[in-house]
A and B are shown apart, each in its own frame.
Chain A
Amino acid sequence: MSSFRFGASVSPLLLAPVLAAGPTWAHDLAVSVTARDGKPIADAVVMVRPLAGVPAAPIKFSWTYQVAQRDLKFSPYVLIVPVGAEVSFPNFDAVKHTVYSYSEAKTFRLKLYGRDMTRVVRMDKPGVVPLGCDIHDTMLSYIRVVDTPYAAKTLASGAAIVRDLPPGPATVTVWHPDSRAANGESVRRIVVPANGTASLALQMDVRPSPIQMN
């Protein structure tokens, strides 16, 4: 379901030529995540940490750090932000919402606010920040606060590409909110080639999204 939702906002057709041209680019990691039945799993977060360490420079991702409230849903389902990022929570719905999280990474509670209002919360620790709305059980999304610039999430096709990796050995952590693995994480060791693209295929055991449990 999550992949379907993403597929609606980012067309796989637009990405296809980019991915097809990918291998010519150096030091990339192509990850494909599937369920045990072979279906692609979207919204899996791929985080790569070179053994050599990550650059000290502030991390900046290309997407906006925003979790919108629209149609009684948080969007996107999974958002990757760097540590210290300020995430905005604009409300586009006609009704009011709260936003809260009891996570260790960031515990906060935004009181009810209405349409076209927004709140900003700073994510100061790496980790998983599940987001909920007190009054709407269907509203659930996750912010993955990372401390590495090499992070990406899978698309509806289950594929993600982490670009411009430094060559050499690295630890790849693939997290998904519904994974049955401990902490929802699967960890792999890879070696990023000096010239060329590394690839990683991963199978993941996922449970149905808690949204469906409501």
Chain B
Amino acid sequence: MTVSQQRTPGAGDVRRPRRAIWPTPAFGRLRTRLTVLYAGLFIVTLTLILAVMYVAASRNAQRTVGAELGATGTVFDRNWVMRTNSLESGARLLAKDFGFRGAVATHDRATVQSALGNLNARLGSDAAFLVGRDGLVTAAGGATPLTLDADVVSAIMQRDRASGVFTSAGTPYEAVAVPILAPQLAGWLVLAVRLDDREMAALRQLSAIPLEPQVLTRSGNSWRSRAGVASSQEGQAINRFLSGPAGAPAGRSQGVVRLGKTMEVFRSLPSMTDENAVLVLRYPLTKALASFRALVGEILALSLLSLGIIAVGSWALARSVTHPLLALRDAAQRMERGEDPRVTVDGADEIAALARSFNIMAQSIGEREHALEQSRRKAESSSQAKSEFLANMSHEIRTPLNGILGMAQVMARDAQGVQRDHLKVLQTSGESLLGILNSLLDLSKIEAGQIELDNHDFDLAETIATACDPLRVLAEEKGLRFEVQVDPAAAGLWSGDALRVRQVLTNLISNAVKFTHAGGVAVSVEGVADGVRFRVIDTGIGIPAAKLETVFEKFSQADGSTTRRFGGTGLGLAISRHLVSLMGGLLSLESREGEGSTFAFELPLIRREAPSASNVASVTRADSADLGRPLRILAAEDNPTNQLILRSLLATLDVDLTLVETGRAAVEAFTCARYDVILMDSQMPEMNGVEATLAIRRIESDRGLERTPILAVTANVMSHQVAEYTAAGMDDVIAKPIEILALLNAIDQALEPPAELEAVGSAG
């Protein structure tokens, strides 16, 4: 079972970019989509309307042309009949004329001929004939050199009153024949009109539409006009029209057909002889559909215009939807940034309602945030108060503890036998209490984010040994195996915060020893690619799977009963986890209940090359032999217990100790006498250590004195405090409770001729 305290990078990536909740491009796409949607709808509607218009116009055009042609056909029919009638009535009038009848009856040929000529001119016909009862053409009038073929004469004689179309020499004529009664049938008066271009032009005038009339007559199997033989397609259409039943559909009975690009109307003409004749009205579709084409053109133009309007309109329409949405998005982003998110609302539509709801929501969120902020501040300030309280309490506790430990130290030096053992217990218990106190302080520092790494070169094997050795004793006392394996690759110099490494190892190993009753504890340290891996393996009681997560929480142990059985604050793992994270590592735990646990972490330490066998301080005593006189020490310490401890610790040495109770007193003492070292407490009445140091340094520079080492002796060893001391001109820091070794070491260093200014407090 592995628990990792850091989130996996993937999960972190997903949740990290909070701005991605409203990605900008989504609105662009919405606008595009809306635009396309609107435009699509409009275009479909437009297309439907235009298609319907087109179909309607097309049908209308066809119907109109058909109706026009049908009507025109009827007009032509009637006109034809009227002309025939007018010819006939003119002919009949002459045929009934007394004089003409007399001339015919008396065979007065000259008179008849002149009368025929007169009639011809009067009626505008092209030829007039008198056909005798014997079939001979006895007289002719008019300029046209028309001769009547035998079949025409025969038709006249057979039918008495024949009329219709016939052809002579390829030219179609229309003729009427009326009988001349004088009083008996004396012959026939025949009037003929040549159906030539002039006549067709006259016919053309009848129609409002540009028709091309042409008379076609059957000649054998084909149809021909004056212009030539008609196409077989046209001929077949004419044949179909002529053979069509009487009750044929309207289109055919009207004789309207479409041949290629021409609409044609066929009108059957009465024929003088056996041959058939038709009047064909040709109507080129290009002309017929001209108005329709114009309409289609207008529709197209309208469509293009509409498309433009649709494009712009759809875009504007889409924008009118997305614009307020974008405004809302901007407002949401403002809200995210903590700016005033309110949007201006006008109108009463859905989006306005949304904007209004948004404003209300933003307002309530703002109020809630405000309330949260207030309660957070309250919590923070109370937490701050607690932390301060804790810090103060720690200080307050530590000060007497310092006294106890210091005195125990002092006493242990002289004690013998049982008393020495008792003092040892006293010292151990005090140190344990100090450890707990330090843990609490660490935690409060961690929570306050005040902890800082102090990287420097250190020997890893030595650090490990320092962490392990006290615990090895503990383990062996419990009858446990205790193994430490340091990979050669891991041994040697590294750059890092050795103190924190040791602290984590001490925590983990002491935990392991605490919870292991049989078997052993193994510490394994290996060099890896980018640092060092540490593992602490035990065969202890283990941790249930369900509790794996919670053991890292502060004040927590796997089981509430654990506290009762094993004691402890439950802070060790929480602090360790924080420290490992701070150093760039990851503390993980594998455990099986009843079998044991393995804590492991890797730290990205940096390898240092220099060999440093002699780094271990060999200072064991401050030797004043060089001076040839007792070491003059000025100590500013307001606490009587600490004064006593200092005095006791330094008593055995050849030291001339001047003790003052305030910073001011220290400054005054400094102005009166010379000292080799000044030990300065930080918190003192009247003038604190920092102020006193500043004053001393000022005096030194004012008087051009040699710099006197000033060592801070304080329980306040947080790095910012240390920085403050250094800035004020102190040379080193000695942490309380004062350990004799650390004190002497620091004094020793301060007195060394080439003063190492970079010295930093190294005692815990």
**Residues of A in contact with B (beta carbons under 8 Å apart):** 100-103, 107, 128, 130-134, 137, 139-140, 142, 177-178, 182, 207-208, 210, 213-214
User: Is A137 a contact partner of B98 (Cβ separation < 8 A)?
Assistant: no
B106 contacts the other chain (CB 8 A): yes
B620 contacts the other chain (CB 8 A): no
Q: Residue B179 contacts which of A103, A128, A131, A210 (CB distance < 8 angstroms)?
A: A210
Q: Residue B106 contacts which of A102, A177, A178, A208 (CB distance < 8 angstroms)?
A: A102
Closest residue of chain B to A139 (Cβ to Cβ) is: B183
Complex Cα–Cα for A103 and B182 (A): 9
Q: Residue B182 contacts which of A102, A142, A214 (CB distance < 8 angstroms)?
A: A102
Closest residue of chain A to B161 (Cβ to Cβ) is: A213
User: Is B182 a contact partner of A132 (Cβ separation < 8 A)?
Assistant: yes
User: Is B106 a contact partner of A214 (Cβ separation < 8 A)?
Assistant: no
| Given known A137-B96, A207-B160, A208-B160, contact A213–B102 (CB-CB < 8 A) | no
Q: Provide the residues of chain A in CB contact with B101, threshold 8 Å.
A: 102
A108 to chain B, nearest CB (A): 12
Complex Cα–Cα for A103 and B107 (A): 11
A-B pairs with beta carbons under 8 Å apart, 7 shown: A100-B183, A102-B182, A128-B184, A132-B183, A142-B184, A207-B160, A210-B183
Residue pairs across A and B with CB atoms within 8 Å: the count is 43
Complex Cα–Cα for A190 and B185 (A): 31
Known: A102-B182, A132-B181. 4 other contacts (CB 8 A): A132-B183, A137-B181, A140-B181, A207-B160
User: Is B160 a contact partner of A131 (Cβ separation < 8 A)?
Assistant: no
B105 contacts the other chain (CB 8 A): yes
Q: Provide the residues of chain A in CB contact with B160, threshold 8 Å.
A: 207-208, 213
B93 to chain A, nearest CB (A): 12
Q: Provide the residues of chain A in CB contact with B161, threshold 8 Å.
A: 213
Complex Cα–Cα for A133 and B161 (A): 22
Closest residue of chain B to A209 (Cβ to Cβ) is: B185
B79-104 CB contacts (< 8 Å) to partner A: 96, 98, 101-102
Q: Provide the residues of chain B in CB contact with A101, threshold 8 Å.
A: 183
Q: Provide the residues of chain B in CB contact with A103, threshold 8 Å.
A: 105
Smallest CB-CB A-B distances: 5 pairs: A132-B183, A102-B105, A130-B184, A210-B185, A213-B179
Q: Provide the residues of chain A in CB contact with B181, threshold 8 Å.
A: 132, 137, 140, 210, 213-214
Q: Provide the residues of chain B in CB contact with A107, threshold 8 Å.
A: 106
Complex Cα–Cα for A101 and B106 (A): 10
Q: Provide the residues of chain B in CB contact with A139, threshold 8 Å.
A: 183
Complex Cα–Cα for A137 and B102 (A): 14
User: Is B184 a contact partner of A177 (Cβ separation < 8 A)?
Assistant: yes
Q: Provide the residues of chain A in CB contact with B105, threshold 8 Å.
A: 102-103
Q: Provide the residues of chain B in CB contact with A142, threshold 8 Å.
A: 184
Q: Provide the residues of chain B in CB contact with A140, threshold 8 Å.
A: 181, 183-184
Q: Provide the residues of chain A in CB contact with B183, threshold 8 Å.
A: 100-101, 130-133, 139-140, 210
Q: Provide the residues of chain A in CB contact with B185, threshold 8 Å.
A: 178, 207, 210, 213
Closest residue of chain B to A107 (Cβ to Cβ) is: B106
A8 to chain B, nearest CB (A): 22
B551 to chain A, nearest CB (A): 139
Q: Provide the residues of chain A in CB contact with B134, threshold 8 Å.
A: 182
User: Is A210 a contact partner of B98 (Cβ separation < 8 A)?
Assistant: no
B123-173 CB contacts (< 8 Å) to partner A: 134, 160-161
Q: Which of B101, B105, B134 has the most CB of A within 10 A?
A: B105
Q: Which of A139, A182, A210 has the most CB of B within 10 A?
A: A210
Complex Cα–Cα for A210 and B179 (A): 8
User: Is B179 a contact partner of A102 (Cβ separation < 8 A)?
Assistant: no
Closest residue of chain A to B105 (Cβ to Cβ) is: A102
B176-204 vs A: 1/0 string, CB under 8 Å? Answer: 00010111110000000000000000000
Complex Cα–Cα for A208 and B181 (A): 13
Q: Provide the residues of chain B in CB contact with A128, threshold 8 Å.
A: 184
B262 to chain A, nearest CB (A): 43
Closest residue of chain B to A134 (Cβ to Cβ) is: B98
Closest residue of chain A to B134 (Cβ to Cβ) is: A182
Q: Residue A130 contacts which of B96, B102, B179, B182 (CB distance < 8 angstroms)?
A: B182
Closest residue of chain A to B102 (Cβ to Cβ) is: A102
Closest residue of chain B to A102 (Cβ to Cβ) is: B105
B746-760 CB contacts (< 8 Å) to partner A: none
Complex Cα–Cα for A107 and B101 (A): 13
B40 to chain A, nearest CB (A): 79
B88 to chain A, nearest CB (A): 12
B99-126 CB contacts (< 8 Å) to partner A: 101-102, 105-106
Complex Cα–Cα for A137 and B185 (A): 12
Q: Which of A131, A133, A142, A207 has the most CB of B within 10 A?
A: A207
Complex Cα–Cα for A52 and B529 (A): 170
A96 to chain B, nearest CB (A): 16
Closest residue of chain B to A135 (Cβ to Cβ) is: B98
Closest residue of chain B to A211 (Cβ to Cβ) is: B181
Complex Cα–Cα for A139 and B179 (A): 16
Closest residue of chain A to B103 (Cβ to Cβ) is: A102
Complex Cα–Cα for A103 and B183 (A): 9
Complex Cα–Cα for A131 and B181 (A): 10
Q: Provide the residues of chain A in CB contact with B179, threshold 8 Å.
A: 210, 213
Closest residue of chain B to A208 (Cβ to Cβ) is: B160
Q: Provide the residues of chain B in CB contact with A182, threshold 8 Å.
A: 134
Complex Cα–Cα for A103 and B184 (A): 10
Closest residue of chain B to A141 (Cβ to Cβ) is: B183
Complex Cα–Cα for A210 and B160 (A): 9
Q: Provide the residues of chain B in CB contact with A137, threshold 8 Å.
A: 96, 181
Complex Cα–Cα for A214 and B101 (A): 14
B116 to chain A, nearest CB (A): 18
Q: Provide the residues of chain B in CB contact with A102, threshold 8 Å.
A: 101-102, 105-106, 182
Complex Cα–Cα for A182 and B434 (A): 170
